Amino acid sequence: MTRLSVNINKIATLRNSRGGDNPNVLKVALDCERFGAQGITVHPRPDERHIRYQDVFDLKQVVTTEFNIEGNPSERKFIDLVLANKPEQVTLVPDTLNAITSNAGWDTVRHRAELTELIQAFKKAGIRVSVFVDADEAMVEGAVICGTDRVELYTEPYAAQYFKNRQKAVLPFIKAAEKAREMGIGLNAGHDLSLDNLHFFKQSIPWLDEVSIGHALISDALYLGLENTIQMYLRELEL
């Protein structure tokens, strides 16, 4: 079974736009779980423009499914946040400070030393580690050498090419996924996965452990309702 983790950053963005507490991120997280999601993902950034650091502490107290904290570990504040909350999973993402959203995976060869040190620290705390990588076999292998438990494939290039030639679009992801399986680590995927392209991706890589989806899912929920949307995404993950 491939697990669906719902990224609730967009809920926090909407809340922050008015400065109050509507919508309430804790309630939405609990509702996502109640509607069938098997995990909750947050991606706090240093400017706290969506998920705030306090949100992470608050969510840790109520989330009963898998809690996944994404972010760039170059900030000591992020490392301390993860170690203080001990989520089931931390996903290391090399996004820059001013990036609108994540737009590339790690160069796991160039950053081997720092990634190895970080992974060891998180694993020592009992936290499963996933490293965000491009669909590149060398980057997957590099992540394994660093000691990661999983990699998360950055799927925006797949989504961008899906309607042009889905077979060609998914091919590098299959190769990267096969490398991960060959080397004995878990496999996640995320970024721009949607109701349009998710089933084919899962069909092409049936051993996928988890997908993290936020923007498309929350956008769909505006029209379809949150409960219905989560159920639709779960059905797309069935073979």
Task: Please give the angle made by the CA atoms of 134, 136 and 138, to the nearest 5 degrees.
Answer: 125
Task: Please give the angle made by the CA atoms of 140, 145 and 146, to the nearest 5 degrees.
Answer: 95
Tokens representing 128? 């499963």
Find all residues with CB under 8 Å of 93, minimum gap 6, and list them.
43, 70, 71, 72, 102, 132
Whether 43 is catalytic is yes
Per the residue annotation, which of 33, 70, 141, 152 is the catalytic one? Answer: 70
CA dist., res. 194 & res. 13, Å (int): 20
Tokens representing 121? 């620290």
Residue 181's φ and ψ, nearest 5 degrees, are -65, -40
Whether 70 is catalytic is yes
Per the residue annotation, which of 50, 66, 141, 191 is the catalytic one? Answer: 191
Per the residue annotation, which of 43, 111, 152, 236 is the catalytic one? Answer: 43
Whether 191 is catalytic is yes
Catalytic residue positions, numbered: 43, 70, 191
